[in-house]
């Protein structure tokens, strides 16, 4: 198949802090790498509406937005290739949030981990359950659902702590689609198990809340000093050292090649002194980060450049968001008084069913694809000699559904953007509708 961009990936970064090495290794670097893959269309945004839920210091929100944007750009994010924007520059997002709020069960929100944690904390402290809990915290998952659903994202790369939010976005989308027709794409969380969890200065996971972080783009000398401060034991130079459980070693591995990591392990076994090991770690990190630091410095000193990039990104994002929101407004009944709904009944549901399409290509062979009503391709066949063969395969999928999928594997192209879950959901819907 051609390099048509079928898979849309989207993720947000809350703008409340300064990026540290853990953010770089866990989120920024993998995202920048993923953004270079041609098959996906990537959306990255600064979740500054979300930041307001956690932070009431205007200067900090502003500064963090600048620092995070500058960090992503310095780390190699290419705003020409991706859509990079600030959430608060997209007025369609809060508007969609309201439409979604009206179909979201309060019970679902009651079960959100972050909200429940706040209640539990109050209970433990003998406070009123709602003490210091804003409606913003309660609504957090709906705003996040709007971020995702606004752009019909299929995949949402997040950390494990966010998986529940993606599930809630699916629930909310399903509910909306059930009421108003198949408008919203159900997203899935994409968790990358290969990214390193970076330990911090004290050996615990590097995290702002433990105050054990190394800022990503602090001055070079400051970074060196911080690395020298990583906690180690009291083993002397010459004594063989264990790599297992060594924060120093784990951080090194997150930056080095396999080869380099092996020789670092050998140095440990040979009794490298901690000061030497730390110096080597610093040099290895600086090899990667050093060249980006200059660009970062330039950007934070020229906020107008960053601003212009984000505004252009928001304009690009709004070319999708604005027309889609118009459709959604119309779907719920917020439309010109004289206009009639396009198809607001059983037919709409029918039209919205996923469909098989058979066709002939220039190569003379016969193909089929299975696509959602919104055009998202779920299955793409290889070329068949005759239309009859293509038809037979389609027939089997239509009647046997998922059961036929495995056996037809060798006549189907791998489509990374459609998960098995989506395909089975869609086949099942079709089966249910056609054989009631």
Q: How far is the CB of 161 from ligand TRP (least distance, A)?
A: 7
Find tokens 């602090």 and name the residue.
Answer: 218
97 binds ligand TRP per the rule CB under 6 A: no
- Give the separation between CA 19 and CA 206, rounded to whole angstroms: 11
To ligand TRP, the closest distance from the beta carbon of 147 in angstroms equals 4
Q: What's the min distance (Å) between Cβ of 136 and ligand TRP?
A: 13
Q: Which is nearer to ligand TRP, 146 or 247 (CB)?
A: 146
Closest CB to ligand TRP among residues 47, 256: 47
- Nearest residue to ligand TRP by CB is 12
Q: Which two tokens stand for residue 328?
A: 């959604």
Interaction between residue 68 and ligand TRP (CB under 6 A): no
Cβ at position 313, least distance to ligand TRP in Å: 15
Minimal distance in Å, beta carbon 71 to ligand TRP?
A: 15
Q: Which stretch binds ligand TRP (CB under 6 A): 11-19, 92-100, 367-375, 399-407?
A: 11-19
User: Residues in contact with ligand TRP, total (CB under 6 A)?
Assistant: 12
> Burial code of 354-375, b = ≥16 C-beta within 10 A, e = fewer?
bebeeeeeeeebbbbbbbbbee
We find the least distance from the C-beta atom of residue 159 to ligand TRP, in angstroms, to be 6
For 32, the token pair is 């920048």
Report the residue number, 79 or 187, with the smaller CB distance to ligand TRP.
Answer: 187
x/- letters, 246..265, toward ligand TRP (CB under 6 A): --------------------
Q: Give the separation between CA 369 and CA 377, rounded to whole angstroms.
A: 7
What sign has the CA pseudo-torsion 235, 237, 240, 246? Answer: positive
Which 3 state secondary structure label does DSSP give 331? Answer: helix
Which CB sits closer to ligand TRP, 140 or 296? 140
Give me the least distance between CB of 78 and ligand TRP, in Å please. 20
- Give the one residue of 6, 7, 90, 148 binding ligand TRP; rule: CB under 6 A: 148
Measured from the CB atom, is 47 or 379 closer to ligand TRP? 47
User: Residue from 6, 8, 9, 11 that binds ligand TRP (CB under 6 A)?
Assistant: 11
88 binds ligand TRP (CB under 6 A): no
Identify which of residues 21 and 47 has a Cβ nearer to ligand TRP in the complex. Answer: 47
How many residues in the chain? 436
Q: Which of 73, 144, 149, 427 binds ligand TRP (CB under 6 A)?
A: 144
The secondary structure of residue 384, as a DSSP letter, is B
**Min separation Cβ 436 and ligand TRP, Å:** 37
Kindly identify the residues of this chain, within the stretch 151-170, that bind ligand TRP according to CB under 6 A.
156, 158, 162
Does 147 sit near ligand TRP (CB under 6 A)? Answer: yes
Say which residues have a Cβ less than 8 Å from residue 8's Cβ, sequence separation at least 6. Answer: 40, 41, 42, 43, 151, 152, 153, 154, 155, 417
Contacts of 25-30 spanning 24+ positions with Cβ under 8 A: 25/195, 25/196, 25/198, 25/254, 25/255, 26/159, 26/195, 26/196, 26/197, 26/198, 27/159, 27/195, 28/71, 28/72, 28/75, 28/216, 29/75, 29/195, 30/157, 30/192, 30/195
- Residue 93 interacting with ligand TRP (CB under 6 A): no
CA 99 – CA 101 distance, rounded (Å): 6
CB nearer ligand TRP, residue 24 or residue 367: 24
Using CB under 6 A as the binding rule, whether residue 47 contacts ligand TRP is answered as yes
* Chain centroid offset of residue 68 CA: 16
* Rounded least distance, CB 242 to ligand TRP, Å: 34
d(CA 143, CA 23): 23
CA-based R_g, the chain, Å: 25
Residue 50 binds to ligand TRP (criterion: CB under 6 A): yes
Shortest Cβ distance from residue 16 to ligand TRP (Å)?
9
Angle, vertex CA 15, rays to CA 10 and CA 20, nearest 5: 95
Interface residues with ligand TRP (CB under 6 A) are: 10-12, 14, 47, 50, 144, 147-148, 156, 158, 162
């Amino acid at each position: 198949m051609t390099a048509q961009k079928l898979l849309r990936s989207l993720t947000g970064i809350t703008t409340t802090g300064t990026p540290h090495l853990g953010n770089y290794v866990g989120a920024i670097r993998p995202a920048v790498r993923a953004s270079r893959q041609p098959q996906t269309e990537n959306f990255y945004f600064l979740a500054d509406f979300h930041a307001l839920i956690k932070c009431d210091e205007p200067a900090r929100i502003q500064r963090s937005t600048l620092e995070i944007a500058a960090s992503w750009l310095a780390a190699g994010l290419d705003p020409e290739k991706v859509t990079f924007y600030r959430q608060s520059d997209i007025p369609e997002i809060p508007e969609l949030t309201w439409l979604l709020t009206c179909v979201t069960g309060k019970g679902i929100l009651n079960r959100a981990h972050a909200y429940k944690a706040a209640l539990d904390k109050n209970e433990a402290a003998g406070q009123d359950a709602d003490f210091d809990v804003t409606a913003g915290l309660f609504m957090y998952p709906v705003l996040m659902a709007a971020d995702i659903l606004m752009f019909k994202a299929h995949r949402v790369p997040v950390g494990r702590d966010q998986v529940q939010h993606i599930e809630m976005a699916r629930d909310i989308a399903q509910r909306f689609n059930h009421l108003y027709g198949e408008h919203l794409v159900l997203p899935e969380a994409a968790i990358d198990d290969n990214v390193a969890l970076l330990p911090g200065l004290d050996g615990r996971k590097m995290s702002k809340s433990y105050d054990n972080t190394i800022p990503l783009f602090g001055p070079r000398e400051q970074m060196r000093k911080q690395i020298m401060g990583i906690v180690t034991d009291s083993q002397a130079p010459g004594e063989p050292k264990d790599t297992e459980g060594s924060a120093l070693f784990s951080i090194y591995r997150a930056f080095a090649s396999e080869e380099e990591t092996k020789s670092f392990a050998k140095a440990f076994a040979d009794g490298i002194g901690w000061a030497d090991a730390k110096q080597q770690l610093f040099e290895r990190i600086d090899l990667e980060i050093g060249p980006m630091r200059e660009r970062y410095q330039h950007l934070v000193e020229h906020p107008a450049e960053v601003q212009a990039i984000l505004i252009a990104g928001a304009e690009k994002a709004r070319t999708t968001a604005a027309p889609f929101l118009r459709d959604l407004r119309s779907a719920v009944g917020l439309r010109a008084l004289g206009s009639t709904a396009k198809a607001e009944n059983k037919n709409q549901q029918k039209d919205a069913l996923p469909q098989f399409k058979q066709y002939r290509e220039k190569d003379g062979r016969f193909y089929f694809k299975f696509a959602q009503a919104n055009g998202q391709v779920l299955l793409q066949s290889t070329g068949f000699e005759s239309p009859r063969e293509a038809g037979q395969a389609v027939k089997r999928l239509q009647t046997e559904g998922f059961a036929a999928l495995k056996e037809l594997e060798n006549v189907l192209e791998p489509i990374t953007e459609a998960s098995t879950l989506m395909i089975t959901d869609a086949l099942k819907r079709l089966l249910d509708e056609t054989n009631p």
